[in-house]
Structure 1
């Protein structure tokens, strides 16, 4: 592992490890010691990186509050407060979510179903724009404090960026801002059709977000709400057992796909740590 202090590639592995079990190194040029987490976002966290991944995963995936998560890991011998869980979610979850998004960049279908639902933030209702493709996979999700032209255009701008190209068709519920936003952000050649709530499959996909959102009794700020809602949809889409809508998947196959998916998420989380370290290295090399 290159030295994070002088960026030298000449180092020696020390026999002694850190208290958390990470390898320690000594640079042969500057003679300074460092470990596997030095210069990474997890450097001063007093629990293993694997536990941080599990905490963020169970916080987003299951109906647990900050206090529930802290209490659960107390049984496993890891003592930290609910504010620590909140802090990890604020600092590490956006990086994790962004790397999951990168895995599906350019892999979205050509037919989009788009709709908006309600989320309470700081005591008032905000609008969560969500879209799925013809196979039921996530297109994108964005929270807006208003259901207006600016919010609709911002959603389609994000969706087109992650998709890499405009779709062939977009189905919506007939909100007045959709036709103009589709023409300006996706292109006039995109076909726009209006369908009722019962015929729009994205209406059913709102249920997962709603079931996870209701136990929180609302969010305190728009930024934290957007961070959580986006992470929830990205992780659940990544772990989705069906590759097409209405596909039958046996329980044993669902469990196999779940375990493989969680293992892949763990690898992505570890890659997040390494990429953050490499970005910092490149920054120092440039300046």
Structure 2
């Protein structure tokens, strides 16, 4: 059985990227590698993922710098994360590209402001137009982060 020291780092990154990007299970990925002559347990892949996922996340965020459009659509949904219900805020641009996400325990102005600040920091882009649902926390958050320099539209869809 091979261990992680016998593989180049870029191959390990590629394996973790496959897991995250293609939503493969740990056991499916171990089976795919076995078909290619590499014998790894799913526990080894899980260890690699734990160590490298943050590095991959940072690298992917750097690639988004300056590539977001000027028209953003922002929404939030309620999801269960590690057994606790949380709000997942998401901003996408007109072309459907991810601008940024933010996880919060509350659905309030502070969380919306944190999303907008993070999105600007990650992309280096300030939007001209933002479309949100009709939640009351968005207008004051937009005014606080962007002043009155943008068009705010609402849509329940």
For Structure 1 versus Structure 2, the TM-score category normalised by the shorter chain is 0.7 to 0.9
What are the superposed Cα offsets for residues 60-87 of structure 1, whole Å, 9 maximum, x if unpaired?
1223222222232123232222222222
- Equivalence for 2:152: 192
Matched, 1:178 2:138: yes
What are the superposed Cα offsets for residues 203-252 of structure 1, whole Å, 9 maximum, x if unpaired?
xxxxxxxxxxxxxxxxxxxxxxxxxxxxxxxxxxxxxxxxxxxxxxxxxx
Which of 110, 115, 121 aligns to 2:81? It is 121
- Equivalence for 1:78: 38
Pairs within 5 Å for 1:37-48:
45-48=5-8
Q: Partners in 2 of 1:146 and 1:102 — Cα distance?
A: 27
Contact preservation (8 Å) 2:27, 2:42: yes
Q: Which residues of structure 2 form unaligned runs of 5+?
A: none
Cα offset, 1:48, TM superposition: 2.8
Q: Partners in 1 of 2:89 and 2:44 — Cα distance?
A: 30
Contact preservation (8 Å) 2:64, 2:99: no
Which of 98, 102, 107 aligns to 1:142? It is 102
Count of aligned pairs between the two proteins: 155
Contact preservation (8 Å) 1:144, 1:151: yes
Contact preservation (8 Å) 1:160, 1:186: no
Instruction: Return closer, same or farther for 1:101/1:195 CA change in 2, 3 Å cut-off.
Output: same
What are the superposed Cα offsets for residues 165-212 of structure 1, whole Å, 9 maximum, x if unpaired?
421111001122111111112223222111121xxxxxxxxxxxxxxx
**Greater CA radius of gyration, 1 or 2?**
1
- Equivalence for 1:153: 113
SS of corresponding position for 2:58:
helix
- Equivalence for 1:60: 20
Instruction: Return closer, same or farther for 1:74/1:118 CA change in 2, 3 Å cut-off.
Output: farther
Q: Partners in 2 of 1:49 and 1:158 — Cα distance?
A: 30
Instruction: Return closer, same or farther for 1:118/1:59 CA change in 2, 3 Å cut-off.
Output: farther
| Larger relative strand fraction | 2
Instruction: Return closer, same or farther for 1:64/1:173 CA change in 2, 3 Å cut-off.
Output: same
Q: TM-score, normalised by structure 2?
A: 0.84
Q: Partners in 2 of 1:78 and 1:176 — Cα distance?
A: 54
Q: Partners in 2 of 1:160 and 1:87 — Cα distance?
A: 32
Instruction: Return closer, same or farther for 1:181/1:45 CA change in 2, 3 Å cut-off.
Output: farther
Pairs within 5 Å for 1:1-287:
45-197=5-157
- Equivalence for 1:239: none
Contact preservation (8 Å) 1:118, 1:125: yes
Q: Which residues of structure 1 form unaligned runs of 5+?
A: 1-19, 21-43, 198-287
